[in-house]
Amino acid sequence: MEYLEQSFSVKFDYKVFFTTSLFKPDNFTLANFILSVPAKIRRKILFVVDEGVAIAHPDLKASIKEYFKVYQEIQLVEDILIIPGGEAAKNNPELFEKLIAAVDTYGIDRHSYIAAIGGGAVLDLVGYAAAVSHRGVKHIRIPTTVLSQNDSGVGVKNGINFKGKKNFTGTFSPPAAVFNDAEFLLSLTDRDYYAGISEAVKVALIKDEAFFEWLEAHASSLAERNSKQMNVLIKRCAALHLAHISSADPFEMGSSRPLDFGHWAAHKIEQLSHFSILHGEAVAMGIALDSTYSYLIGLITEEKLQRILNVLQVFFELTHPLIQIQDLNAPVLKGLAEFQEHLGGELTITLLSDIGKGQEVHQIDSDLLIAASNYVMEFTRQPQSLSL
Amino acid sequence: MEYLEQSFSVKFDYKVFFTTSLFKPDNFTLANFILSVPAKIRRKILFVVDEGVAIAHPDLKASIKEYFKVYQEIQLVEDILIIPGGEAAKNNPELFEKLIAAVDTYGIDRHSYIAAIGGGAVLDLVGYAAAVSHRGVKHIRIPTTVLSQNDSGVGVKNGINFKGKKNFTGTFSPPAAVFNDAEFLLSLTDRDYYAGISEAVKVALIKDEAFFEWLEAHASSLAERNSKQMNVLIKRCAALHLAHISSADPFEMGSSRPLDFGHWAAHKIEQLSHFSILHGEAVAMGIALDSTYSYLIGLITEEKLQRILNVLQVFFELTHPLIQIQDLNAPVLKGLAEFQEHLGGELTITLLSDIGKGQEVHQIDSDLLIAASNYVMEFTRQPQSLSL
Ligand SMILES: NC(=O)c1ccc[n+]([C@@H]2O[C@H](COP(=O)([O-])OP(=O)(O)OC[C@H]3O[C@@H](n4cnc5c(N)ncnc54)[C@H](O)[C@@H]3O)[C@@H](O)[C@H]2O)c1
Ligand SMILES: NC(=O)c1ccc[n+]([C@@H]2O[C@H](COP(=O)([O-])OP(=O)(O)OC[C@H]3O[C@@H](n4cnc5c(N)ncnc54)[C@H](O)[C@@H]3O)[C@@H](O)[C@H]2O)c1
Ligand SMILES: [Zn+2]
Ligand SMILES: [Zn+2]
């Protein structure tokens, strides 16, 4: 058998900046980044803004324009595009087409930037459009939600939905840079603010016991939207995500996805609720279910389980008719098969073998899931634990 | 300025197999490849076939089905999809949608394969659809033209056109494997057969003097479609392409694209001719023009230039009203600006400093292009050189 063999590695790097007032003219962070390429390379940038952000920050467009007046070497595309925020961004294929057309209209080339300002959904859409335009235009992410600042916005994935199926098309493509501006978080609703906290609980549970203890200790001030503590949470959570991505299998060529702890149920609940349950809220429910399952099969103690459920309960409802598994026909159970289908290969689910330690299993017992679901329901009926 | 830094490398590897009668039941090449993954991974494969190939090989569908009856461990998707071949495949966005829908309909996951059998255009389309489905389904390429076996099919790029603009959307994504079956070439028209030879001349000129001399020596037998010599050409050309991709900048993050020698004009001519001039034919014209330009600015001798033009003339018309540059308004000149636009950064054009040696320049003198165009026209009016 005759063959030629090809083999190469591609290196990717990017920075995640933490700043405030990104577009204050004397904040050099963004401009310095763009100007760091050699002068012969064109510096051109197109902005796409989440409508929810644009409404909450009515001066944003003007600030962006003022900012780039100071940095004349950078060519700002005059039109700033506004697109619907939330899951609608990923459910409407016309928005994707619109962005591709914009790349053409505004002459965006492989060295120009498309910057997206918004929640995880808008970043996922714009990141995908940037990734496939000219086989990859440089993409800057400016996440504006807790979830996108500590998780989705710092990672390497993008995508949109297809007939309601989450992230059916997309790519792995690292951003050119990420700019986390804490001020954007001030305008979030409580629901959107809290929603991002579940990803921090998730990554703490599978990777970092000390961070989980920090979350226990600071749950009430986080619930009161203490900005200082939220900054700590975001930085720690983002760092854990970055470290995970670079340490393992950045483009997920294998079947293992520890960061998807709690997500097999979450993805299904989101879809079953027609996205009325937020991603982060669904993840909290998924974590509660899978942590309880971990306890029921003897991986963690009941005391540790209750610490987990207690922290989650500060921010979230842990149960919902859609996640209640009374029998083998419960619709959420379909999420297991779909999770396997999406990954291919054998079923691989992350559970907990301790607080701060994930463990993969390849089999899930549906009867025990029923028991886990009942446990969570029972737990949430009790008066809240006094430990917090 | 506070920031976190992310950095990682992703390794890619794949084999390019050379075989004949790929679907003869006792040819293990393809089956062995698919069965080489651990048994717990699902082995499922969907075939998409170029209509031109399906028509020229009416037994192909049946052969594929027979083949997989022998290899029961592999799950063949019963429906074999046929899509229009040639540039039409890349110009019709509905075909892309159709492929994404097929991934859904047939339950293709990230460990399943989508195999494409066809010319470069069909491979580019199917490769793109595979690359973005579930953020990357495994893609097998079975190229059926000279060009796709020696160039496009062995590389890492895919894409489709947008409003006639070549490769406007696409990705860099290496195939899982490539299977070059020499038998497919027998059914090509002479035009399609010859068209692929220009990429071999191109890569010889910028990389490998000995290969160019081999092409000179075997031009007439290649013109007579000698299969043995064609196999040598394809293997050598594919190897040079693979070596180039892995040695330099596989995902073309910089502005340099030596493999695009002759292509700034070629892409424009293709488009101006509404794709009635084939890619390979346009490349031959582009090589003639840029080699002559290299001579006019003193980079290569006239003797070497004429050797180049003589080889090309065996297979191609070297001039065409669309490429004749009489003045600065000649439409093909727009190709220079568009080439720069696509790459971004400064203009970077590969010329020749010798046979077998490319050299990048960052400026092109339009008046000298007029002279180069006139030289080629004059040359093609002469009786063919006797040296061949
Ligand atoms: N790519 C990844 O790796 C990854 C990881 C996790 C989640 N995700 C995706 O992220 C999405 C969820 O993102 P999200 O939680 O950031 O929510 P979101 O993007 O759905 O936004 C929620 C709402 O908040 C609004 N909004 C955003 N920022 C605001 C601000 N600063 N002030 C006021 N309103 C604001 C939006 O307009 C929207 O209405 C889901 O689609 C999920 O699948 C992607
Ligand atoms: N991805 C890359 O890196 C890359 C590189 C170079 C070129 N390309 C692209 O490749 C395309 C050109 O590909 P091509 O030259 O292979 O031609 P093609 O794909 O356009 O096919 C030409 C014609 O031949 C037919 N055909 C294909 N195989 C046949 C066979 N064995 N027998 C009979 N008919 C057959 C097709 O149906 C079509 O009508 C262009 O779109 C070009 O942009 C891509
Ligand atoms: Zn998540
Ligand atoms: Zn080419």
Q: What is the mean pLDDT of residues A57-81?
A: 97
Q: Which of B279, B287, B315, B316 to mutate to test ligand 2, by most ligand atoms within 8 A of the CB atom?
A: B279
Looking at the CA of A84, name the nearest ligand: 1
* Position B252 pLDDT exceeds 90: no
User: Strand pairing of A2-19 and A160-162?
Assistant: unpaired
pLDDT in tens, A100-115: 999 999 999 888 999 9
One domain for residues A109 and A196: no
What is the predicted pLDDT for the residue at B194? 98
The helix-helix angle for A227-247 and A197-207 (nearest 10°) equals 50
pLDDT at B39 over 80: no
Domain count, chain B: 2
Q: Which of B2, B6, B152, B342 to mutate to test the interface with A (most CBs of A within 10 A)?
A: B6
H or E stretch at A11? strand A2-19
- Of B139, B170, B187, the one marking the end of a domain is B187
- Residue B297: both structure tokens together: 């600015």
Place of tokens 């854990």: A240
The position carrying tokens 């917090």 is A388
With cut-offs at 50, 70 and 90, classify the pLDDT of residue A384. Answer: low
Do B314 and B374 have their domain in common?
Answer: yes
Q: Average the pLDDT over B321-349 and give the result.
A: 86
**The pLDDT of residue A258:** 78
Residue B351 and residue B205 share a domain? yes
The predicted-structure confidence for B172-199, as pLDDT tens digits, reads as follows: 999 999 999 999 999 999 999 999 999 9
Q: Which residues, including other chains, have CB under 8 Å from residue B348's CB and lie 6 or more apart? A: B255, B256, B257, B340, B360, B361, B362
The answer as to whether B262 is a domain residue is yes
Q: What percent of chain B has pLDDT over 70?
A: 98
pLDDT for position B383: 66
Last residue of a domain, one of B187, B212, B236: B187
Q: What is the pTM of this model?
A: 0.95
List the structure tokens of A104. 């053409």
Specify whether B177 is located in the same domain as B199. no
Question: Which pLDDT score is estimated for A34?
Answer: 96
Contact B336, B348 (CB under 8 A): no
Per-residue pLDDT band for A383 (boundaries 50, 70, 90) equals low
In a domain? residue A3: no
Q: B136 pLDDT band (50/70/90 cuts)?
A: very high
Q: What is the pLDDT of residue B387?
A: 47
Question: Is B135 part of any domain?
Answer: yes
- Residues on chain A touching B107 (C-beta within 8 angstroms): 341
Strands (E), B191-337: none
- CA-wise closest residue to B169 among A136, A189, A146, A206: A136
Asked if the model's pLDDT at residue B253 lies above 50, the reply is yes
- pLDDT surpassing 80 at residue A32: yes
Confidence of residue B382 (pLDDT cuts 50, 70, 90): confident
The span from the CA of B250 to the CA of B244, in Å, is 8
pLDDT value at residue A163: 87
* Domain around A92: 15-187
CA distance B144 to B126: 14
Cβ–Cβ < 8 Å for B83, B124: no
Beta bridge mates, B294? none
A5 CB burial (10 A radius; 0-12, 13-18, 19+): exposed
Q: Which of A170, A275, A268, A284 is nearest to A219 (CA)?
A: A284
Q: Does residue A312 share a domain with residue A375?
A: yes
**Closest-CA residue in chain A for B33?**
A1
More confident residue, A370 or B341: A370
Of chain B residues 36-75, which have a CB less than 8 A from chain A? 40-42
CATH of the domain at A106: 3.40.50.1970
> In the predicted model, is pLDDT for residue B103 greater than 50?
yes
Half-sphere exposure of A192 (CA within 13 A, CB side): 21
Tokens of A121: 């959904």
Of B136, B168, B187, which one is at a domain's C-terminal end? Answer: B187
Question: What element of type H or E holds A4?
Answer: strand A2-19
User: Token digits for B168?
Assistant: 């406007």
User: Which residues sit opposite A17 in a β-bridge?
Assistant: A179, B3
A8 domain-assigned: no
ipTM of predicted complex: 0.93
- Say what the pLDDT of residue B153 is: 96
**Are the CB atoms for A139 and A124 separated by under 8 Å?**
no
Read off φ and ψ for residue B94, nearest 5 degrees: -65, -30
Ligand 2 pocket test, pick from B21, B23, B91, B145 with the greatest ligand atom count within 8 Å of Cβ, gives: B145
Closest C-alpha to A319, from A258, A364, A378: A378
Residues B202 and B323 in one domain: yes
Which one is predicted more confidently, A208 or A43? A208
Mean pLDDT of A204-215: 98
The domain that contains B261 carries what CATH number?
1.20.1090.10
How many C-beta neighbours within 10 Å does residue A338 have?
A: 15
| pLDDT band for position A126 (cuts 50, 70, 90) | very high
Stretch B94-118: mean pLDDT, rounded? Answer: 96
The residue to which tokens 């290649």 are assigned: B222
CB contact at 8 A, B116 and B139 = yes
Residue A361: which H helix or E strand, with range? Answer: strand A357-361
Assess whether A274 and A294 both reside in one domain. yes
| Within-domain flag for A387 | no
Q: Which atom of ligand 1 is nearest to the CA of A170?
A: 1
Q: What confidence score (pLDDT) does residue B386 get?
A: 44
